[in-house]
Amino acid sequence: MTQITVTINGKSFRMACDDGEEDRLMGLAARFDGWISELKGAFGEIGDQRLTVMAGIMATDQLSELERKVKQLEGELEDAQKRQVAALDNMSQNEEELSRAVTTAAARIESLADSLTRSLRPPETP
């Protein structure tokens, strides 16, 4: 476990994280600090606790919107996968029908060729 110090709203906070996660945690803290600064610019000094709650609500709102979009995209992906399966099934049926038609045509051609060959043979003499 690694200890790092992050700065949010001008205050330092010592935090623990897994080894290798330091940059990620620093980035998250910087992003949260950016929201605090944004709110401070919009509303002025309204108190640390209130700023923190408002920034938390902003983060939760963004998370909620992203979850909604992910759910929508998952639905679209599921629909696309169903359409793909249906298209592959249709293609497979078409291939089977084509194969049967070719087989039937080949048998008919062979039969015609045999008939033609028999009709072109000279008659057998006794």
Residue range 95-122, pLDDT digits in tens: 999 999 999 999 999 999 999 888 888 7
How much is the pLDDT for 22? Answer: 96
How much of the chain exceeds pLDDT 90, in percent? 85
Give the pLDDT confidence of 11-66 residue by residue, as tens digits: 999 999 999 999 999 999 999 999 999 999 998 888 999 999 999 999 999 999 99
Residue 75 belongs to domain spanning: 2-120
Is 125 inside a domain boundary? no
How much is the pLDDT for 96? Answer: 94
Is 55 inside a domain boundary? yes
For residues 69 and 49, give the distance between their C-alpha atoms in angstroms, rounded to a whole number: 30
Written as one letter, the residue type at 77 is L
How much is the pLDDT for 123? Answer: 72
Given a contact cutoff of 8 angstroms between Cβ atoms, the answer to whether 27 and 4 are in contact is no
Question: Which residues, in sequence order, are bridge partners of residue 14?
Answer: 5
Q: Which residues contact 43 (CB under 8 A, 6 or more apart)?
A: 51, 54
Is 56 inside a domain boundary? yes
Is 126 inside a domain boundary? no
Is 20 inside a domain boundary? yes
- Quote the number of domains for the chain: 1
Q: What φ, ψ does residue 3 adopt, rounded to 5°?
A: -105, 130
